[in-house]
Amino acid sequence: MTLNRRRFLAGSVGTTAAAAITAIPAVANATAQKVAKWDKTVEMVVIGAGGAGLATAVSAAEHGIKDIIILEKMAFIGGNTAVATGAFNTSDPAQKEQGIEDSPELHAEQTLKGGDYRANPELVRTLTYNSYETLEWLEKKGVRFQPKILQVYGALWPRSHATEASKGSDYIRVLSTEAKKQGTEIVTNARVVDIIREEPLAGRVIGVEYVDRAGKHIFIRATKAVVACAGGFGANREMRSLHDPRMYNLTTTNVEGTSTGEVLVMMQDIGAEVTGMDHIQCNPGCPPGRKLRVNMFSWPQNMIMVGYDGKRFIAEDSRRDQMRDAILSLPKQTAFCIQDDYGQSLNNKGHQKDNHRALETGDAWRADTLEELAKKAGIDPANLVKTVEEYNKGCDAGKDPGGKKPRNLRRIEKAPFWAGFAGMSVHHTMGGAVINKDTQVIDRHGKVIPGLHAVGEITGGIHGSNRLGGNAIADIFTFGRLTGIAIAAGK
């Protein structure tokens, strides 16, 4: 058995606050080495304790995998799932009661079209035809969803299911509790530094090496599978700008220290193929020079966007890549979300808390009139008043002059009115490891790498060039659940 050491030479990590650069610790040894001794043997190792990792572990345990360890490099669990809006896309019989026509096939068609047909159709249909069963699975575990089904930012269709409480933390709370009940060991401050294969580019993946809190290197053998659930590379400034140079100076929405990409590089080092690495998604976030992310954009029904001139520049329910390019073309690459007080009350509780904090930091504003709001935010007052008047008339007529779909129209009329910065921040990387429908990682020759699976943002081929809002949460939990089943079946 040989240990393949990465040549990953200190990529950069953009922070949530201001994209400050921090080097990822490098692994100095570039030569293969014998594993002298395994410190621990388990059936399954999961890299990453976010939504994908927890779902994979819970599903595997309930299908007969007895000995599971989750290794999380951060001091806490949850990753980006914990701070996500948490909207879960799936077609659902409850939609008919709300006058919404939908189906797994329509969901698949819109996902493929929304990603410019750059996704793998088999993976897309695996997602859309299994997502409702995953929603039911989560509900049985204890996740509670709001009854009304809406369309989250960038979703293109009203199939987004919002959790009852704040952001995506509901999923983490429920699944981490379940994992611990099942006996899964979760180790934090455990930074994986190598994925170990029998030969550098051949044979089975048999374990991992990680560094613990004290700096000790520990080798764990996995008799059934290693599952990479370590997230994307959106916070790695050099890695993302290598594939899309426009991304270099942007901030990121990712939790500081996450989405740094080193596990994906380890997978490449042992032969994994990648796809779609230049497909990098941005979401409204901190404009250049700002630190606090304001979220008034998640539900396009409840807001409009304007520039400094007070004018709308795009339909707010457009694709996320279209929103990205439109905002990046504005003066100062900055837009503003405009809401009334009722729209603000419909935001997730966690986002409401952030938005109130933003009133103190100068990243959001509130006023009893639109004129006063505009003056506080530095927006053209006359144009903002005119823009809202025209938008409200469009709501009454059921036809928005700005192009927003009729189902997403709601008047902005209840004082106080709100405005918040909406710059562009790197949010999600759609590219990553090539997988099959059982999440087995595929090598550069189109063959399965035995013993290695990948779930979530570390994978490529599910979303194509543009991810629909609400599809990432459906992705991590659906493929996490299916991965547990697949590994238990010997795949």
d(CA 368, CA 351): 21
* Cα-trace Rg, the chain: 22
Contacts of 341 (CB under 8 A, 6+ apart): 414, 415, 416, 417, 418
Strand 417-429 and strand 335-339: the pairing is antiparallel
Verify whether residue 320 is a known catalytic residue.
Answer: yes
* DSSP code at position 362: T
Secondary structure, 3-state, 140-183:
HHCCCECCCCECCCCCCCCCEECECCCCCHHHHHHHHHHHHHCC
Nearest to residue 133, comparing CAs of 485, 487, 412, 415?
485
Q: What are residue 453's DSSP bridge partners?
A: 227, 440
Would you call the peptide bond into 121 cis, given omega within 30 degrees of 0 as the criterion?
A: no
CB atoms within 10 A of CB 361: 11
d(CA 349, CA 336): 20
| Assigned token pair, 72 | 């999380």
Please calculate the CA angle 307-115-85 and round it to the nearest 5 degrees. Answer: 60
Secondary structure, 3-state, 200-229:
CCEEEEEEEEEECCCCCEEEEEEEEEEEEC
Determine the distance from the C-alpha atom of residue 333 to the mean position of all C-alpha atoms in its chain, rounded to a whole number: 23
Nearest to residue 84, comparing CAs of 475, 433, 479?
475
* DSSP code at position 313: -
Residues in the chain: 491
Catalytic residue among 191, 320, 366, 481: 320
| Assigned token pair, 475 | 């992705």
Which residues are part of the catalytic machinery?
Answer: 320
